[in-house]
Structure 1
């Protein structure tokens, strides 16, 4: 099918398209490499985490990558980190959840599609009741992609942190529902938390201090709880820990 318009009214066709959409992996790798050349994050790891990540990827393990959200450039920092890390091998096989409004501009949408993005209709923009059905379908599509071997990258706070960028905003159960639905499809994703810091002088989502970010990759977590809300709590704790390290190592 052709690319449908990304609108809430059209969410059924939107998610049917992204259920199977596959970007050009060669172009995606070139784009990720270019983003690393531009942003050059300083990537560090928890003790043994890099080797464990390589081991998991060698086994074909599916990852759900969670990162904190403090700037409109976070997705570029995360992409640059992927190129600099063992995650390079899953470029082109990683879906990235991104807010629907980014898909309105045709040129930007082409870039998002090339990066493997899937649109998310947020209650912040449309209202909780209006996005309920679309949200459930988005979680199903995300779980389907995980069950077929894709990884998933998500900013589980859902919106940029405009207050204290060293402390996560509350994470709701959405990420937990995706993990649970993936489990119902026979796959148990391993959580990989990635903390980002642009330094003490970075304030708000539009900070210009986005180059040479401090990025800290946590130890992969495979023993996640079974209930969505408990999964969200586990993500909150693990992600806050890596954010603390990213901040401290800036």
Structure 2
């Protein structure tokens, strides 16, 4: 299937494409390894989290991976973290929700596609009403990919935190709706929460401190309840990253 133009007016064709798009796994692994060598995050774990993460991966549970959003380098830090952690085995089978403007330029789009990107049309760029239908379709596609065994990575704050980097911003409810839609397809994804800190100056030119919490094996409840749980877990992960910088 040809790559459709990523525009809001074309969202049906866009999500038809990303419903089945597969990454070139060997290229993705090479790219993640290169980013790990360049960004060199210091990866820390809550006690028992590394073994627990290996266990949920070995059990075949699809993962919802969430991280806080501080700078435009976060996606690279997250990829480097995946290479340096048990998440390495999921490279090539992880979809990353990414803002639609990253898909506009042809060369950059091929790189984002190779890294597993799925476009998100954000209300801050297009308006709440304009993106409503596209947002629902995006959540359906993310849930479907989880039901097929893929991991889905999300920066649920939706925009860079330019205020207080040690306190997370409001977490969008999309993550709760994705998990509930995955459950409706018979899938119970596990939550993996990753905190990122670049030090007191929030300088992404320095290696990040990254903290991974113990996975939550099943997320249950309403979308609102799930979103609150994600926010609580994410703040704990950020606290851990900040403390270990």
Query: What per-residue deviation string (whole Å, max 9, x for no partner) do you get for residues 205-239 of structure 1?
Result: xx4x3431000001101242320011000000000
Q: CA deviation at 1:156?
A: 0.3
Residue ranges of structure 2 left out of the alignment (5+ in a row):
none
* 1:134 and 2:134 matched: yes
What is the match of residue 242 of structure 2?
A: 247
Using the TM superposition, name which of 175-184 and 215-224 deviates more. Answer: 215-224
Partner Cα separation in structure 2 for residue 172 and residue 120 of structure 1: 13
What is the match of residue 180 of structure 1?
A: 180
SS at match of 2:95: strand
Q: Retained in 2: the 8 A contact 1:172–1:229?
A: no
Partner Cα separation in structure 2 for residue 3 and residue 69 of structure 1: 28
Q: Retained in 2: the 8 A contact 1:63–1:151?
A: yes
* 1:232 and 2:232 matched: no
Q: CA deviation at 1:201?
A: 1.3
Residues paired across the two proteins, number: 245
Q: CA deviation at 1:58?
A: 1.0
Q: CA RMSD in A?
A: 0.8
* 1:122 and 2:122 matched: yes
Q: CA deviation at 1:61?
A: 1.1
Q: Retained in 1: the 8 A contact 2:189–2:218?
A: no
Q: Retained in 1: the 8 A contact 2:56–2:217?
A: no
What is the match of residue 28 of structure 2?
A: 28
Q: Retained in 1: the 8 A contact 2:146–2:189?
A: yes
Partner Cα separation in structure 1 for residue 41 and residue 130 of structure 2: 38
Q: Retained in 1: the 8 A contact 2:188–2:218?
A: no
Q: TM-score, normalised by structure 2?
A: 0.99
Instruction: Describe how 1:1-250 pairs up with structure 2 within 5 A.
Output: 1-202=1-202, 207=203, 209-250=204-245
Partner Cα separation in structure 1 for residue 64 and residue 54 of structure 2: 15
